[in-house]
Chains A and B, each alone.
Chain A
Amino acid sequence: MTAARPQASGGRRPGFGAVQALLGLVLAALCVAPFAIVLVVSFGQVVEGASWRWALSLENYLRFFVGLEWPASTSFLYLQKLWWTLVYAGLAAVIAVAFAFPFTWLTTRQSRRIQTVWLVFLLSSLSLSEVFVVMGWDVLLSNRSGLPMVFRETGLTDWLQSVGWFDTLRDWGMATPRNVRFKTSVFATVLTMSYLVFPYAVILLYPALSRLDPAMLEAARTMGARPFTVIRTVVLPAARLPLTGAALLLFVYLLGAYVVVSVFADPARQTLTITIYESVRGATLNAPFGAAQAVILLLTAGGFLLASLRLSRLAEAKA
């Protein structure tokens, strides 16, 4: 991608520079300044039982990697939170894209009218906030009115108990002495996260899949390829870039998921967003440590974006 860029020439209209400078200032105020503040705060020091003060200390970063009591003892508590942040976001992004791909593909094969209906429906579902989505799934998975109720009422629970699988579920933490349970669990968290970003995945894939040249597919079909083979050998490779792009975007978006995790993940499997919030606003009022965690999360997200950019360049170079 080294195409020659248009040279910045001196032939601009006067006033253009001023507008550009103004835009730059707005950008700086809205994006750079808050980040700079977070970065500066992250070097601050907390005063136990009071507030915190400005400082130039690395102890918050040290605590993130080895815990508060280091070197007396080492704890990977916050690395573990970072790990779960990545696991949830990664799994949910991949699952959402995996389901969105066939869905979008089939949608683009429909008539214009049906496509419009689906897209409008999906776009409107985007207006549901994380809170509503979580609330919905909370009810769907709850013991009295959700899936466990279905298990109990249909006799599935009794059957599980009679064949002895119920005890296995209890060992896995997926059952109480009385019935099966689905939350809090990794399952509920990933399910809800995938659901949350599914419309985004469709909307991200739609332009690429709908622009796919029908002639290519017809050519493949006339040469004897079955529909599944066409998808595998023609559609998938052509949509490779939008697919990875969509997964990546959703992954980064999901790194910041908060409500889902706070409701559906048990504390042993919660993410950095939760501890950041608790540090800044919780009872310890430790804004510097919260800021340090935020900086690390941001750098991690940036690192993943950069790495994938490298990979796609590499793939392009090979092709």
Chain B
Amino acid sequence: MTSRLATPSLARSGALRVSRRSILKGAAGLAAVSALGAPALAQSRSLKIGSYGGYFENSFKEHVYPKFTEATGIAVESVTQPNSSDWLVTMQNAAQSGTVPADLSLYARDTMIRASRIGGLLAPLQPAAMPKAEGLDPKFLYTADSGLVGVGAMSWFTSMVVNPNVVEAPASWAEFWDPSTYEASLGISKLYNSHFLDIAAATFFDGEATMMSRDGIVAVVEKVAELKGNVGLWWSAESQMEQAMKNEDVIGGIYYHDVAGIMAAEGFPIASIFPKEGNPQDYGSWCLAEGSEKAEEAAAFIDFSSDPATQALMSRMIGTAPLLPQSATDLTDEEFAAVSGTPAITPAYEAYLDMGEFIKETWEKMLAAA
């Protein structure tokens, strides 16, 4: 329970690691800019890169940026992003005043599409300057009307978790709907776009396709409504769910695969499970700010970040899932399982963008019904 509680909805709907790991950052740090290493000389090449503050940014500064500087001679200045949707507001204000707080920023997919629709915020990238991005799974490259605007940086899974001391690992998400075991005992995210809808759609319907129509959304939400009696905690901040699992206030639910793994390693009663329907996979993208004069350096960094070796490095050091198959990296089975798994449920991104308010209100009405 941290100051993050004051800003719970910033959870990973648009933010990767506004988690318990960012305790010290709190809600502040919007403009905190920290230079890395020695002050860069005026003539040397440099790049300002934004990432979500806290553990996440620190890991980048410690493990990733130095390797990049070593390889290319380009110095990196790390910029703290509170998360992606707040950062969008900052970038909008900056664009109006003609400044560029960061050349490259991390965006969640929905925020990135939102930014490209608003216009004047994201500059197109040069695919020719970043050949290694071709090696990523194509679904992690986002092309808007103006061209390629986002290249995947890393991904993460929201997974099924249970307390292994109390229940056996379920084979399917459908088991959560059984009240004899789970009555008032599950912790599910309260946010409409935290992918629980995608889980229900994949378990009981046709997945993403069902989410593309209003009737489909209503049907999925009604299915989730049947689960309400089994939910003991509708959590809004990551730390709430963490505490609830540790305190055994809940015995299962959804949580982040990587953090669950860390908690289990620390001896807490939690197991992250890939049931037969799979777990939702979300990802963050590197985007270049409109008005940045560092397009070339940015391309060099994206190319570096897309390198299988860098993807594996991030998996090991930061706990993110690589954006390419395990076979392309040198990750061991154990290392890969710690950050990833199969199958992956793809969130219905388009639906969340185009029918955001409708999904939100349908979801909230379901939650609000007694």
> Which residues of A approach B to under 8 Å, CB–CB?
46, 48-51, 67-69, 75, 77, 80-81, 131, 134-135, 138-139, 142-146, 170, 173, 175-178, 181, 183-184, 258-259, 262-263, 266-268, 275, 277-278, 281-286
What distance in Å separates the Cβ of A298 from its nearest Cβ neighbour in chain B? 20
- Cβ–Cβ contact A68 & B361, under 8 A: yes
- Cβ–Cβ contact A267 & B368, under 8 A: yes
- Cβ–Cβ contact B249 & A181, under 8 A: yes
State A277–B193 Cα separation when bound (angstroms).
16
Chain A residues whose C-beta falls within 8 Å of the C-beta of B184 in the assembled complex: 170, 173, 175-176, 181
Chain A residues whose C-beta falls within 8 Å of the C-beta of B183 in the assembled complex: 170, 176-177
Interface: B369 (CB within 8 A):
yes
A131-B5, A175-B184 known; A283 vs B361 contact (CB < 8 Å):
no
- Cβ–Cβ contact B356 & A49, under 8 A: yes
- Cβ–Cβ contact B247 & A139, under 8 A: yes
State A286–B359 Cα separation when bound (angstroms).
14
Chain B residues whose C-beta falls within 8 Å of the C-beta of A177 in the assembled complex: 180-181, 183, 185
Chain A residues whose C-beta falls within 8 Å of the C-beta of B361 in the assembled complex: 67-69, 75, 77
Chain A residues whose C-beta falls within 8 Å of the C-beta of B365 in the assembled complex: 67, 75, 77
Complex partner residue of B354 from A46, A49, A68, A184, CB under 8 angstroms: A49
Interface: B353 (CB within 8 A):
yes
Chain B 334-370 per-residue mask, 1 if CB under 8 angstroms from chain A, else 0: 0000000000000000001111111011001101111
State A281–B246 Cα separation when bound (angstroms).
29
Which residues of B from 1 to 35 have beta carbons under 8 Å from A?
1-3, 5-10, 13-14
Interface: B292 (CB within 8 A):
no
A77-B365, A176-B185, A277-B9 known; A266 vs B234 contact (CB < 8 Å):
yes
State A282–B190 Cα separation when bound (angstroms).
12
State A254–B68 Cα separation when bound (angstroms).
51
Interface: B42 (CB within 8 A):
no
> Which residues of B approach A to under 8 Å, CB–CB?
1-3, 5-10, 13-14, 85-86, 88-89, 92, 110, 113-114, 117-118, 166, 180-181, 183-185, 190-193, 229, 232-234, 236-237, 240, 243-244, 246-249, 251, 352-358, 360-361, 364-365, 367-370
State A39–B8 Cα separation when bound (angstroms).
25
- Cβ–Cβ contact A262 & B236, under 8 A: yes
Binding site secondary structure of chain A:
loop
Complex partner residue of A281 from B85, B193, B234, B360, CB under 8 angstroms: B85
State A315–B236 Cα separation when bound (angstroms).
45
Chain A residues whose C-beta falls within 8 Å of the C-beta of B352 in the assembled complex: 283
- Cβ–Cβ contact A143 & B234, under 8 A: no
- Cβ–Cβ contact A144 & B247, under 8 A: yes
A68-B357, A68-B361, A267-B234 known; A283 vs B3 contact (CB < 8 Å):
no
- Cβ–Cβ contact A50 & B5, under 8 A: no
- Cβ–Cβ contact A68 & B358, under 8 A: yes
Complex partner residue of A142 from B6, B14, B118, B247, CB under 8 angstroms: B247
Chain B residues whose C-beta falls within 8 Å of the C-beta of A266 in the assembled complex: 234
State A177–B166 Cα separation when bound (angstroms).
11
State A48–B354 Cα separation when bound (angstroms).
6
State A267–B234 Cα separation when bound (angstroms).
7
Chain B residues whose C-beta falls within 8 Å of the C-beta of A46 in the assembled complex: 357
- Cβ–Cβ contact B368 & A263, under 8 A: no
- Cβ–Cβ contact A143 & B367, under 8 A: no
- Cβ–Cβ contact A176 & B193, under 8 A: no
State A244–B367 Cα separation when bound (angstroms).
35
Report the nearest A residue to B240, measured CB to CB.
Answer: A263
Chain A residues whose C-beta falls within 8 Å of the C-beta of B86 in the assembled complex: 281
What distance in Å separates the Cβ of A137 from its nearest Cβ neighbour in chain B? 11
Residue among B183, B184, B367 facing the most chain A CB atoms (10 A cut-off) = B184
- Cβ–Cβ contact A262 & B368, under 8 A: no
Complex partner residue of B85 from A176, A178, A283, CB under 8 angstroms: A283
What distance in Å separates the Cβ of A229 from its nearest Cβ neighbour in chain B? 44
What distance in Å separates the Cβ of B270 from its nearest Cβ neighbour in chain A? 13
What distance in Å separates the Cβ of A164 from its nearest Cβ neighbour in chain B? 17
Chain A residues whose C-beta falls within 8 Å of the C-beta of B229 in the assembled complex: 173
State A277–B246 Cα separation when bound (angstroms).
27
State A248–B7 Cα separation when bound (angstroms).
28
- Cβ–Cβ contact B191 & A268, under 8 A: no
**7 further interface pairs, Cβ-Cβ under 8 Å (given A267-B368, A282-B85):** A48-B356, A51-B92, A68-B361, A131-B6, A145-B247, A285-B114, A286-B357
- Cβ–Cβ contact A143 & B118, under 8 A: no
